[in-house]
Amino acid sequence: MRVLLRTSTKINVNTATAAQLTLVLDVSESAAQAVVKYRAARGAFKTPDDLKKVPGIDAGKIDARRDRISIR
């Protein structure tokens, strides 16, 4: 199941939990928590590139998984 989550699942970054973000985006738990906190403080992400503004997020990982990121 973890393999499917890491390789095939599309995720809505505006509604996902930190645990879901960790698995699907292959980021650390602290980076996923930062995404959730950033979203709570600033509102919904409008583009996948907005994720790159979150402190602790590796832009390369976002670019590599761009096709798996949903913002709707």
What CA–CA distance (Å, rounded) separates 21 from 45? 14
pLDDT in tens, 22-66: 988 989 999 999 999 999 999 999 999 999 999 999 999 999 999
pLDDT, residue 58, reads 94
Average pLDDT over residues 2-15: 81
- pLDDT for residue 19 is more than 90: yes
Domains of the chain: 2-70 (1.10.150.280)
The DSSP-derived string for 5-51 is HHHT--EETTT--HHHHHHHHT--HHHHHHHHHHHHHH---SSGGGG
- pLDDT for residue 1 is more than 80: no
pLDDT, residue 20, reads 92
Residue among 60, 33, 31 nearest 48 (CA): 60
Read off the pTM.
Answer: 0.87
